Amino acid sequence: MTAHLADNIVLAEIDVEITLLGSLFLSPAALPLHIDAIQAEWFSEPFCRYLFESAAALHADGHRLSPAAIVANMPAALPGLGTREEFFARVCASGMPADSISGLIATLRDRWARRRLVECAQDIKDSAILFGEDPFALAGGAILDLNTIAATKTAARARSFDASVEELRASHREPARLRGATTGLLSLDKKLNGYSRGQLYVIAGRPGMGKSAFMCSSLRRTAQSGKGVAIFSLEMTAQEIAARCLSDAFDTVNAPMYGAILKGLLGEVGEADMDLAQDSLAGIPMLVDDSPRLTWQEIAGNARKAKAQFEASGIPLAVVCIDHMGLVTPSDRYRGNKVAEAGEISAQARALAKELDCCVILLCQLSREVEKRDDKKPVMSDLRWSGDIEQDAHVVAFVYREAYYLQQKADADPGLVAAARYRLDFIISKNRNGETGETPLWCSIAHSSVRDE
């Protein structure tokens, strides 16, 4: 359909801005209720922005937002607008009942978003034709700007306590809504409530501890339960993940090892068995992106696409997994500051979980300090740059295999080695909504398989 000029939206609706301010000033009690849902930059008219910022500053300082206080905070003379008393009266005369404020805020935000889109498009157009500009860096910056605009849509989520209680009670009538997607392990589903929506899970370990085995085995069964899984594998290729999932799907230690699958060393019988394993996994809702060195903006954008793709097929996106955190390309904001870079990624991961209403899993490497201790079991302080990660995560867990260290000791007791061979400890060190502690699991690293004991 061809748009006519008369259909175009006025991007700077000053009348809406004045009406919103007047409505807020006429109902002083309404401003504290709505102030956090409004950003000063949404106002296109400088003096309207100034008025809002002045009122917000009064509120922040604990002053009562009376007309006298607002007027006293305005300049005595306003060139072209008369005295401050006259302009305040004019603004209030444009006001509407308090129940109109939410709609006015929505219009204000809408017009700001449209102006920003136009500005971003013009910036891209102006920069894209310059030889000195990196088009891929421009694209990354544009994605960040567009994400900032999109984020304001869900910024105002405040609701009354009664509404929150009613939403919780409604979920009690449908218990499945309270459970997260299955981890594929009954013991962990019980302790973690599965992979819960809107939550960030950090799963960490030293190399050789079974992070990749846990990820592939667990998420393979999450997908087989009918829940969408998106894996961003910055370390392994998609073929490696496929080989691990196929080996795991046999569910026996007599199955082909994933290394043999990768190398094509199966023989005629093994290939026939592989056909059966492939059929058992056909069509599972799992997407694997093995692009190297992705930025967080690229991961977030591709995760949104994955959610849309799954939902178009009637499948909810349950888990976004990033393997691993240390390979995500950081932004330039904290270049070289590893602690700040890690904090930025963990904060963005937590925000993405909330935005997409799914679980986000960050796999992490542990510090080498673990290797210097007699007791190699990891603790929270072993997380690299741990402060922000620990704070942002709803769940922090470690994978640990004693067998890995026993096999390196020439004098290790053979009985202990044999007893530990298939054991993996899943150590929950933080669980905001449940219990912590160690959960012993059965694990075959060669088959990338993890099971309940």
Encode pLDDT of 279-309 as tens digits. 888 889 999 999 888 888 888 888 888 888 8
Which DSSP state fits 384? Answer: T
> What pLDDT band is residue 2 in, cutting at 50, 70 and 90?
very low
Q: Which helix (H) or strand (E) holds 228?
A: strand 228-233
Distance of CA 199 to the CA centre of its chain: 8
So what's the pLDDT on residue 1? 40
So what's the pLDDT on residue 6? 42
Mean pLDDT is highest, among 102-106, 148-152, 194-198, 391-395, for 194-198
Q: Which of 52, 38, 43 is nearest to 158 (CA)?
A: 38
Beta carbons of 42 and 109 less than 8 angstroms apart: yes
Q: Which of 233, 261, 268 is nearest to 246 (CA)?
A: 261
Give the whole-angstrom CA distance, residue 216 versus residue 428: 19
What's the pTM?
0.66
- Domain extents in the chain: 1-156, 175-452
Q: Which helix (H) or strand (E) holds 187?
A: helix 186-192
Q: How far is CA 95 from CA 22, 102, 389, in A?
A: 4, 13, 46
Average pLDDT over residues 132-136: 86
Top-confidence residue, 216 or 419: 216
Q: Which of 85, 226, 191, 210 is nearest to 433 (CA)?
A: 191
Token pair 């009637």 is found at 314
Give the whole-angstrom CA distance, residue 359 versus residue 199: 5
Percentage of the chain with pLDDT > 90? Answer: 26
Tokens of 404: 């890995």
Give the whole-angstrom CA distance, residue 112 versus residue 101: 17
Q: Does position 141 have pLDDT exceeding 70, yes or no?
A: yes
Arch. (CATH architecture) of 1-156? Orthogonal Bundle (1.10)
Encode pLDDT of 354-380 as tens digits. 888 899 999 998 888 888 888 888 888
Q: How far is CA 14 from CA 18, 44, 64, 300, in A?
A: 6, 7, 27, 35
Give the whole-angstrom CA distance, residue 430 versus residue 395: 5
Locate the DSSP E strands across 29-121: 77-78, 82-83
Q: Which of 452, 151, 119, 94 is nearest to 300 (CA)?
A: 151
Mean pLDDT is highest, among 20-24, 37-41, 56-60, 202-206, for 202-206
Determine the topology of domain 175-452 in CATH: Rossmann fold (3.40.50)
How does strand 395-400 pair with strand 359-365?
unpaired
Q: How many CB atoms lie within 10 A of CB 59?
A: 16
So what's the pLDDT on residue 178? 61
Tokens of 434: 């449940």
Q: Dihedrals φ, ψ of 265, to 5°?
A: -100, 60
Q: Which of 36, 32, 26 is nearest to 88 (CA)?
A: 26
Q: Which helix (H) or strand (E) holds 416?
A: helix 414-420
Q: Which of 216, 194, 192, 187 is nearest to 363 (CA)?
A: 216
Top-confidence residue, 131 or 361: 361
So what's the pLDDT on residue 167? 59
Strand partners, 438: 427
Top-confidence residue, 37 or 359: 359
Tokens of 178: 């309270």
So what's the pLDDT on residue 3? 45
Distance of CA 193 to the CA centre of its chain: 19
Q: Does position 27 have pLDDT exceeding 50, yes or no?
A: yes
Encode pLDDT of 191-207 as tens digits. 999 999 999 999 999 98
Top-confidence residue, 402 or 7: 402
Encode pLDDT of 323-359 as tens digits. 888 888 877 777 777 777 888 888 889 888 988 889 9
Q: Which amino acid is at 163?
A: A
Torsion over CA: 186, 245, 235, 211 (sign): positive
> What pLDDT band is residue 441 in, cutting at 50, 70 and 90?
very high
Residue 324: is the preceding peptide bond cis (ω within 30°)? yes
What does pLDDT average to over the chain? Answer: 83
Q: Which of 420, 426, 452 is nearest to 439 (CA)?
A: 426
